[in-house]
Amino acid sequence: MKFRLLFLCLITALAARAEDKLTLARVLKDVGEQHPQVRAAQALAAAERERIPQASAWDDPTVGIEHMRRDNLRILRADETEFSVSQKLPVTAQRRQRVALAKAEAAVADSRVSAQVTPLVIQATDAFYRLVRARELLELTRSNDEILARALSAVQARLASGTTDVTSVLLAETERARLQEPVIALEREIAEATTMLNTLRNLPPESAIGALDANAGPAAAALGTFESLRDRALTYRPELRAADAQVTAGDRATDVARAWLPDPEVMVRARHIRGSNNPISEYDTGIAISLPWINRGKYRARVREAQRRRDAAELDVALLRSQTVAELRDAWTRHESATRSVALYHDRLLPLAERSLDAASTGLDSGKSGILELVSAQKNLREVRNALADAQSERARALAVIGAMTGQNFFTLP
């Protein structure tokens, strides 16, 4: 019973420790939800949606009161008092077109929310893998320093017994001193990447970041063909959808400019004459309309302005579509190259470099090899691990770009 309880506690502790690891998917989720730039875009989108009920509302009614005097200059004494109420009736297409324009502009603002996330996702992916790379290389460098320290002790013992010379000792001490330079650079890179990740997640820059789970990054699902990704990007890319929404808004603005026929305004005026027993002695009704035909040039210029803005938005869409295909091709190529590099370094070169270091360490202990072989093996392992980390980071950045352009998630959820 005690063994079972101990086993359950161990499993719970391991599970909690695994859950504490920060994954890239969690980082990207935090960026999309917490970054001030995204939240500001969401607030602007909400503000644009509030314009829809404003556009659909009727014009405010107008009320007035007028005092008329005959042979009387007293301010507080009037011979007649007239009350008036007027209201525009939305019987033409103006109100309907204004509502359509407000909805189109709200759609533009909604599309721009996702477009704001794209560069932040790429920055977060780069900072995440920079931190992963720097931590791994720092751990490797410190491990190499420990191996060199043990090797230095062995060489010093041999020097005391007269089986080696002082050159090997000086080489080991020099290499240990040189290892401090990459340690300083890697610690600075860790601090910079930590600050960037915390800033993107809207956390204090000095917040500590625990263990990272880089293995839970790229999802196992294949990307598919470039043609399928291209078609999806041309349909779902946030920037392109925002540009298309801007074209639609241009169409609605043109419709509003063309809907220049005036809405009629109805009026009711009631009049009270001093000395009359009735509160309303007489009343008038009327109707009025503005005369836009007199300023026809103004309204034609307004239509032309809306059309030019719409044409500019359509040209922006055409340019963005071309850029989308080119940028997707570049990201696709970088992903394919990085994937091959990851396979090369991880499956072939890294095992060879690790075995070479083990052999050099064993040979140094047995006296079959010298300190020079150990230093060379350590440098080779650092170069391979560095290249592997760079390839993994490049692959993740390419996936982030492709995912942002196609509206897909290529990273496993935390």
Per DSSP, 411 falls in state B
Q: pLDDT band at residue 224, thresholds of 50, 70 and 90?
A: confident
Instruction: Write down the pLDDT at residue 386.
Output: 87
Is residue 74 predicted with pLDDT exceeding 50? yes
Task: Please state, rounded to an integer, the average pLDDT across all residues of the chain.
Answer: 84
Q: Any bridge partners for residue 85, and if so which?
A: 63, 268
pLDDT, average across residues 209-224: 69
Query: By three-state DSSP, how is residue 222 classified?
Result: coil
Is residue 334 predicted with pLDDT exceeding 60? yes
Short-list 255, 253, 262, 260, CA closest to 89: 262
**Higher per-residue confidence, 163 vs 1:** 163
Q: Is the pTM of this model over 0.85?
A: no
Q: At what angle do helices 350-366 and 371-406 cross, to 10 degrees?
A: 160
The total number of residues shown for the chain amounts to: 414
Is residue 363 predicted with pLDDT exceeding 70? yes
Half-sphere exposure of 48 (CA within 13 A, CB side): 21
Instruction: Write down the pLDDT at residue 4.
Output: 43
Instruction: Write down the pLDDT at residue 97.
Output: 92
Structural domains present in the chain: 36-60+93-261+297-406 (1.20.1600.10)
Is residue 410 predicted with pLDDT exceeding 80? no
Instruction: Write down the pLDDT at residue 10.
Output: 42
pLDDT, average across residues 305-322: 94
The strands making up 62-68's β-sheet, listed across from edge to edge, are 62-68, 80-88, 265-273, 282-288
Q: Are 217 and 396 in contact (CB under 8 A)?
A: yes
pLDDT, average across residues 115-129: 87
